[in-house]
Structure 1
Amino acid sequence: MQSSSELFPVALIGADIRGDLSEDVYRLKPGNSPDPSVELALTRLGRFDQQGGRGVPVILLPGSFSNRRFWYSPKGIGLGPYLARAGYDVWIAEMRGHGLSPRNRGYSRNRVSDYVRYDLPAIADFIHEQNPQPAHWLGHSLGGITLAGALGGRYLDEARVASALLFGSQISRIYWPLKLPPVEWGTRLLLGRFSVLSGSRLGRGPEDEPIGLALESLRWHGLFGRFGDAERDWWAGLGEVRVPLLAVAAVGDRQDPAWACRKLLEQCGSGVREFLCLGKQHGFSGDFGHVEMLVSKAAQAEVWPLVEHWLGNGSLQGSGAQSVVLEPRAGIPTEPSSG
């Protein structure tokens, strides 16, 4: 089969019309990581009747225990179809072993570091090849953490990033028992007996997660842990990020609290940083939860239009939302450097 890309082998494994939407599913085999068996699925959504070229690309990254259906239900409902109908060129990525992406040979050892260093750059390169406009990236939970890591680690070319939106994403919540080395070691020993964490058994979602992600999280939250890989400190690198950023938290989110989501945003060096908290006290109909912030009838009515407003204007100002605009960090230039 002829590849759909000149970068690396890419197969078009599905091309369908879903009502008023076109759906193309690609499977990428970048061959850029130590595990050459890795294949990544990308779903592209657009308006079936769209004339002329594609709109501005928007790349959606699901969170843990999730897949493309978080953004795009079989009935054509979700933020993905909503943005496609608004004229955007929507791409939904599924990480290794999730959804339509097959499990690679080293699946159980997969880490966020692999997503950050190898997979997101390959996804970005392919999408840029198909649509060479700067893309908006939107990640929920672990998807947002992965996006933050790729930006902080300088694995994404910021010239190709129009903006980044982080929903329910944080790395600053402290788990005090893990600061005790015996507890961390014992937990690592216990988890090491498994190859996956079952999303269905844990009541967290339809997908499994490789145990490598859990072990990596233990390292991040340990006594001397840091948000990064062996080569780069992603947390420190966030201070050099210049792309416009929107962080969205929810009052009812017990997993990723609002203060921690805001702290991730505050670490970034962008001159455009906005924070939005979804709750009654901030003018919304209710206190949204971790999933409900994007997948609920209330989100469809109150949150999705705000996302569209941000994508079109680079700010929530004028949308009616009570967002907080953060001042640029001291000593950080507000314009990208020429270097």
Structure 2
Amino acid sequence: MQSSSNLFPVALISAERRGDLSEDVYRLKPGNSPDGTVELAVTRLGLADVPENRGTPIILLHGSFSNRRFWYSPKGIGLGAYLARRGFDVWIPEMRGHGLSKRNHDYARNRVADYARYDLPAIGAFVREQSGQKPHWVGHSLGATTLAAALGGQHLGAPMVASVALFGCQVSRTHWPLKIPPVEWGGRFILKRLAQVSGPRFKRGPEDEPAGVMIEAMRWNGLFGRFGDAERDWWKGLAEVDVPLLAVSAAGDRQDPDWACRQLFEQVGSEHRQYLCLGRKHGFTEDFGHVQMLVSKTAQTEVWPLVERWLKDPLTPLVGTHPEIAATV
């Protein structure tokens, strides 16, 4: 079968019409990481009746224990579907072992470092090849953290990124028990025996997460931990990032609190950056939660239009909509 890309083997595995939307699913085999079995499913959403009139490309990255359905439900509801109906060219990757992306050979050892170094650059290159434009990137939770790692590690930059929006993204919240070496060692031992953590079992989401991602997060929070891998300090690298940035927190988010999201935002060196906290104190009708900031009826009316405005013009401040929004800090 002929590849859909000149970069690496890509197969179109399905092409369906979903109401007013078209849904094309590609299987990417980048072959750029030590594990040659990695395959990534990427769904492309657009308007079914205007397939040749693709707009600005947007890449949406889901968080932990999740998949493409965070952005696009079977009924055609979600930020991804909303943006597609607004004329954007929407791309929704699923990380290794999530959704339509099969589990790779070393699934249990998958890490954010692998996603940032190998997977996101391959996805970005493919989307740019297909669309002819630099894509905008939007990430939620672990997807946003992976984006921050790719930027701080210099795996993604201005040639591949038109702008970045990070929702519920932080690495500063400290879990003090993990500072005690025996506790960290015990946690690693248990996770290695489990190989993965079940999202459905622990009511965290529809997908499992590989133990490697959890162990990596424990290392970040360990006694001498840092946000980075053996080669790079991603936190320091964020100071060198120079792409338009929107960072969004939620006032009711206990997992990734506002203060910690703001710390990461302030570390990024971008000239054009904006910060937004979704809460009553800042002009919204409710204190949004970690998931509700993007998946709720209130988000549809209060948050999605702001995302659209940002994507259309990341260099223009959103000042005037809510008092908390500022061009820079």
* TM-score exceeds 0.5: yes
Shift of 1:157: 3.4
Residues 319 and 327 in structure 2, CA contact (< 8 A), matched pair in contact too: no
| Residues 295-328 of structure 1 deviation map (CA, whole Å, 9 limit, x = unaligned) | 0000001100000011112144256133432646
Check the 8 A contact 1:276/1:322 in 2, yes or no.
no
Question: What is the match of residue 158 of structure 2?
Answer: 158
Q: 2 CA distance for matches of 1:158 and 1:58?
A: 15
Equivalent pair of 1:275/1:326 in contact (CA under 8 Å): yes
For 2:29, the equivalent position in structure 1 comes to 29
The residue number in structure 1 matching 2:325 is 324
Long gaps (5+) in structure 1: 329-339
Aligned to 1:91: 91
Aligned 8 A contact 2:157 2:243 in 1: no
Matches of 1:52 and 1:124, distance apart in 2: 20
Compute the TM-score of the two structures, normalised by the length of structure 1.
0.94
Aligned residue for 2:162, secondary structure, equals: strand
Kept in 1, the 8 Å contact 2:274–2:328? The answer is no
Equivalent position of 2:16 in the other structure: 16
Q: Deviations over 1:26-45 (max 9, x none)?
A: 00000100100000000000
Q: Is the 8 A contact 1:306 1:316 kept in 2?
A: no
Deviation larger for 51-60 or 208-217: 51-60
CA RMSD of aligned residues (A): 1.2
Q: Compared with structure 1, are the counterparts of its residues 297 and 327 closer, same or farther at alpha carbon in structure 2 (3 Å cutoff)?
A: closer
Question: Bigger shift: 186-195 or 297-306?
Answer: 186-195
Q: TM-score, with normalisation over the residues of structure 2?
A: 0.97
Distance 1:317 1:81 in 2: 23
Q: Which stretches in structure 2 are left out of the alignment for 5+ residues?
A: none
Q: Distance in 2 between matches of 1:159 and 1:121?
A: 11
Provide Cα deviations, 1:54-89, integer angstroms capped at 9, x if missing partner.
Answer: 111000000000000000000000000100111110
Matches within 5 A, 1:17-96: 17-50=17-50, 52-96=52-96
1:331 equivalent in structure 2: none
How many residues get paired?
328
Does 168-177 or 307-316 show the bigger shift? Answer: 307-316
User: Match of 1:41, SS?
Assistant: strand
Q: Is the 8 A contact 1:27 1:39 kept in 2?
A: yes
Q: Which residue of 2 is the match for residue 250 of structure 1? A: 250
Runs (4 or more) in structure 1 with deviation over 3 Å come to none
Deviation, structure 1 residue 52? 4.6
Sequence identity of aligned pairs in percent? 67
**Deviation of the 1:287 alpha carbon:** 0.7
SS in 2 for 1:193: helix
Q: For 1:1-339, list aligned pairs within 5 A.
A: 1-50=1-50, 52-314=52-314, 315-317=316-318, 320-325=321-326, 327=328
